Amino acid sequence: MSARYDELKALKNLGQKYAYSDREVMLYAYGIGLGADPMDENELAFVNEGTLTPRPLKVVPTFASVAAWGAGPGEMNLNRVMVVDGERDITFHQPLPAAAHITADSSVIEVYDKGKDKGVVIKHQTVLKNEKGEKLATLVASRFARGDGGFGGPNLTQPDPHTIPSREPDKTIDITTRPDQALVYRLCGDRNPLHSDPEFAKKAGFPRPILHGMCTYGITCRGVLQTYADYDPSAFRQHVARFSSPVYPGETVTMDLWKDGNVISFEAKVKSRGVTVIKNGKTVLG
């Protein structure tokens, strides 16, 4: 077995301590575009705690993706310029509170070496727990390192993704992003210059900074919230998406959604460029 494979597979980091407040919760909601209409009470519930008529602040389920920003199994020593998010799968064990002290346990699940010049996919998970040790969310991420691979890992095949229904979508919605959205979203933790520095973006092969894949992921959660979840975060059990192409800040994301019982399938595209940006999306409601 490859020593590099064994090194990556053994990475583990338990008991990482984090804390967040309602400020981070509201910033994340704003970062994925909620609150663009300052009179929309459904969206204000995620970015404003209410004053004359107090109300509990709602937490976007995918806030789990930044609640313990920086948590991970350990240093992977990858070519950072060539690393992109491949997939995210979050299981929600209970609704996230608006403020909390949490712990994060991270470990590598599997490593898929695609071969020399083809990159490597590293799948790892982080389990978020509250102060009582109860699970809040389990995050499974697939990191695609385009500049690595070919180190002789086992010949493994990644699991098949969720299948999108072949019929016409049950709903289609447009969600507009702002030209400065990546500059806001990066304040949630992801300071990767690919999303803010034009020079760095060009070095990575993009004409200008791209929107964070995890911001697009949050946008798809927002799409399900406003269509089939009635803006109820507690309805979410799972939210899965594969990143297939980047969004540039300022573009309009078009979501196609299919409802089959408590399973919502979705894909997202940018029509102006004719590209699909999210594939094989699945939300489980309950």
Catalytic positions, written as ranges: 190, 195
- 53-85 pLDDT, tens digit per residue, is 888 999 999 999 999 999 999 999 887 767 777
Read off the pLDDT band of 148 (50, 70, 90): confident
Per-residue pLDDT, 214: 96
Query: CATH: 3.40.50.360, 3.40.50.620, 3.30.420.40, 3.10.129.10. Which one for 171-285?
Result: 3.10.129.10
Per-residue pLDDT, 103: 98
Read off the pLDDT band of 208 (50, 70, 90): very high
Read off the pLDDT band of 1 (50, 70, 90): low
- 269-281 pLDDT, tens digit per residue, is 999 999 999 999 9
- Residue 57: C-alpha distances to residues 31, 32, 46, 51, 99 (Å): 16, 16, 6, 11, 10
Would you say residue 180 has pLDDT above 70? yes
- 5-15 pLDDT, tens digit per residue, is 899 999 999 99
Q: Tell me, yes or no, if the two domains 1-159 and 171-285 fold the same way.
A: yes
DSSP readout, 177-232? PPTTHHHHHGGGS---GGGT-HHHHHHTT-SSPPPPHHHHHHHHHHHHHHHTSTT-
Domain boundaries, the chain: 1-159, 171-285
CATH homologous superfamily of 1-159 equals Hotdog Thioesterase (3.10.129.10)
